Structure 1
Amino acid sequence: MSQPGINDVLKDKEENQLFPVFLKLQNFKTLLVGAGNVGLEKLEAMLHNSPDAHVTVVADRVLDQIWTLKAHHPQISIHQRSFHEEDLITKELVILATDDYELHQQIVALCKEKGILVNVADTPELCDFYLGSIVKKGNLKIAISTNGKSPTIAKRIKEVLNENIPQEIDDTLESINKLREIIPGGFSEKVKRLNEVTAGLVAKVEEPKISPKKLGWIIWLIVVAFCGVLFVTLFNQDPHFQSFIEGINPEFYKFLAAGFVFAMIDGAIGMSYGVTTTTFSLSMGIPPASASTGVHISEILSNGIAGWMHFKMGNVNKKLFKLLVVSGVIGAVAGAYILSSLEHYSHYTKPVISIYTFCLGILILRKAFLANKRAKSKTKVKEKKITKIKPLGFAGGFIDAVGGGGWGTIVLSSLIAGGRNARYSLGTVKLSRFFIALMSSLTFITMLDNLHWYVVSGLVLGSAIASPIAAKVSNKISAKSIMVAVGIIVIIASSKNIIGFITKIFSL
């Protein structure tokens, strides 16, 4: 057997020599010195991973957030005073998080004498162990270390793993655990059987039955066929459409600009195209059914392209897609049919839709400030994964057709808030939206006799021009600022329609 060469030995010494372990922190007595921002970060990390950890906090100044953590974790002890050597009695782990380097050196020396392991924030040379970045997906936990070289790199790797490992991995772990308990035989037999079962987790991913290229062609053929049939049918049957082709309505340019602006907003924040476009159309005197038709036809192409791109990148959950698209189409067709049937009563349905868009405006504002609040808070909230997909799809499709928008706002938000992976949820919702918009549009066109084609064509062309630009501009604009502006505009425009209706009633 060959002996390792000098280069191999030197290489080993240069690499990360840390030995990773997972501690049952609830079985240790831990001392945390320092209760400022760094101390808070360390305490939150410990409690997030080990909620029952016994921690004694000693500091001259204690942040309010740490007192709040104590209220939820009564096993924590807090002493608001300076460090004393007696604080080390019975302690097995020590974490130092102050800005006093000399104090840190003093405590480290005491810990060495007493055989206590110590971690010093941002001072690798004084540490016996590091607190690495942690990826947690239910029972799965991955610790990341850069050997103290760059905590920032560790955080970035954590973000990548968090984004790409689905929350559903915990379901797989639970299933494998149950299987392990029922497999007969000894240890070696269990290992062999489990290796066979889990081999698919690392095997090469099979190509989907429908390739991304084939799906792209299918979507384009559907769009072209839809546009061709629509043009021929309406040019032969609808005099209003003929007059539009022969002479452009001046209002067309207003909806062209509106389609462009609202598509840009949607590209920046991933939602609100339907609600902003519908609100604008209603304020311009367009009946609810025609307004919703314009929205859905203009969304067919954009969502088809977006859905195809997500499918190509592997961002579509096939099982979730099937559940959403079937129930969503049923809900969308039902909503479009009902709204079209009430087109002659648009003076009654218009204020109802305005109330709906008013509520969506408030929801958009709430999301803007809630997202900002969550970004500032480091406390993790455990979310229960949503399972009632069919009712969600039906409700989202129905409300989207009746209100001219809301599929993304309602369905996507519910999936993410319900613990679903954000990337897969977005891709699945975008692809299913293509079919929702297609079926809603077909229902509206079949039911309505008089469509406002300058509205439809303006929105289609405006949104088509904006789509490629929005992707490049979106990262340069504050999503919160846009959401706040959109929420306020939608609320004001909807309020105008509601107040106008109420004034009209009292004037009768």
Structure 2
Amino acid sequence: MVEDVIVFAAVGFAAQMIDGAIGMAYGLSAASVLLTLGVAPAAASASIHAAEVFTTGASGLAHWCVGNVRRDLVLRLALPGMLGGVLGAFLLVGAPIGPVRVFVSLYLLVLGGVILAKALRPRAPAVPRPWRVALLGFCGGALDAAGGGGWGAIVTSTLIGQGSVPREAIGSANLAEFFVTVAISAAFVATIGLSLWPIIAGLVLGGVLAAPFAALVAKRVPDRPLMVIVAVVVSLLALRNLLLALRALAGGG
């Protein structure tokens, strides 16, 4: 029991450092570990989102305190994201999502290239249109719940790709993710419940400890290097998830 908490605290710390600094990969990193250990996808996603109620809260507060948050972005992302997240949670419990994962992986792969291209040439910060932000929040919430992670990879990278200031995109998406995660967790509790408490406790402990350090990293790293890092991480995650999704489809899973 104690050993499990310590191991997953290390996993949670590492995942939150990455997620809080570049705005993505906490859920995807943790999901990869749990699925490798044989945890069912729905149970893995439920456990991760239960832990993320605390880690995203700590991360969002840390980003708010260091000035990385745009309030309008948070409001436009959170409500549609909560709705999409609840629907995604029910989708994961009752339906196959392999084809959706293939589409999302291809989308993220292209987006990684777009972000890299923007990082390599001068650009002026832009404000995405409100309806696009709302639609992005809805899709990000649905796919995050269904895939056990992915809110940051989809939402943060798209905001940056559209021209948002990287640290503001990262901080705002992190704070909005707290509200989305609460909704997703409630949906999972209502459908399958929670049982992997040592894993949840470890992920919470590590993630909360890492949150303030990750927010400072996001604030202090210059925009263009941060965009390059985001582009590389998005592309690698997309390639990995595309291969896994294609393998599952080929095997009938």
* TM superposition score normalised by structure 2: 0.74
Per-residue displacement from partner, 1:439-481 (whole Å, max 9, x unpaired)? 11122122114633333223222222333444566768x7546
8 Å contact from structure 1 (residues 276, 486) kept in 2: no
Match of 2:184 among 432, 440, 460: 440
Match of 2:144 among 400, 406, 412: 400
Match of 2:158 among 414, 417, 423: 414
Task: Tell me the distance in 2 between the aligned counterparts of 1:489 and 1:420.
Answer: 21
- Structure 1 residue identity aligned to 2:34: S
Task: Tell me the distance in 1 between the aligned counterparts of 2:103 and 2:2.
Answer: 29
- 1:284 aligned residue: 37
Per-residue displacement from partner, 1:243-281 (whole Å, max 9, x unpaired)? xxxxx1865554333222222222332222222222332
Higher relative helix content: 2
Task: Tell me the distance in 2 between the aligned counterparts of 1:308 and 1:465.
Answer: 13
- Structure 2 residue identity aligned to 1:330: L
The answer to whether structure 1 residue 300 and structure 2 residue 44 are counterparts is no
- 1:9 aligned residue: none
Report sequence identity in percent. Answer: 32
Per-residue displacement from partner, 1:272-310 (whole Å, max 9, x unpaired)? 222222233223222222222222222222322333344
8 Å contact from structure 2 (residues 66, 216) kept in 1: no
- Structure 1 residue identity aligned to 2:17: M
Task: Tell me the distance in 2 between the aligned counterparts of 1:263 and 1:411.
Answer: 17
Residue 354 of structure 1: CA displacement?
A: 6.1
Higher relative strand content: 1
Greater relative CO (CA pairs within 8 A, separation 6+)? 2
Per-residue displacement from partner, 1:186-228 (whole Å, max 9, x unpaired)? xxxxxxxxxxxxxxxxxxxxxxxxxxxxxxxxxxxxxxxxxxx
8 Å contact from structure 1 (residues 265, 482) kept in 2: no
The answer to whether structure 1 residue 453 and structure 2 residue 197 are counterparts is yes
The alignment of Structure 1 onto Structure 2 pairs a total of residues equal to 247
1:325 aligns to what SS in structure 2? helix
1:75-94 alignment, distance < 5 Å: none
Task: Tell me the distance in 2 between the aligned counterparts of 1:450 and 1:302.
Answer: 17
Residue 499 of structure 1: CA displacement?
A: 3.0
Task: Tell me the distance in 1 between the aligned counterparts of 2:128 and 2:199.
Answer: 40
Task: Tell me the distance in 1 between the aligned counterparts of 2:46 and 2:16.
Answer: 16
- Structure 2 residue identity aligned to 1:377: R
The answer to whether structure 1 residue 265 and structure 2 residue 18 are counterparts is yes
Q: Based on CA coordinates, which of the two structures has the bigger radius of gyration?
A: 1
Task: Tell me the distance in 1 between the aligned counterparts of 2:81 and 2:169.
Answer: 15
Task: Tell me the distance in 2 between the aligned counterparts of 1:385 and 1:482.
Answer: 18
* TM superposition score normalised by structure 1: 0.41
Ranges in structure 2 where 5+ consecutive residues have no aligned partner = none
Residue 419 of structure 1: CA displacement?
A: 4.2
Cα pair distance change 1:492/1:471, threshold 3 Å: same
Residue 435 of structure 1: CA displacement?
A: 0.9
- 1:499 aligned residue: 247
1:271 aligns to what SS in structure 2? coil
- 1:330 aligned residue: 83
Task: Tell me the distance in 1 between the aligned counterparts of 2:25 and 2:166.
Answer: 17
1:377 aligns to what SS in structure 2? coil
Task: Tell me the distance in 1 between the aligned counterparts of 2:249 and 2:40.
Answer: 14
Ranges in structure 1 where 5+ consecutive residues have no aligned partner = 1-247
Task: Tell me the distance in 2 between the aligned counterparts of 1:436 and 1:459.
Answer: 18
Cα pair distance change 1:256/1:372, threshold 3 Å: same
8 Å contact from structure 1 (residues 316, 428) kept in 2: yes
The answer to whether structure 1 residue 363 and structure 2 residue 111 are counterparts is no
2:130 aligns to what SS in structure 1? coil
Residue 324 of structure 1: CA displacement?
A: 2.3
1:32-71 alignment, distance < 5 Å: none
- 1:386 aligned residue: 129
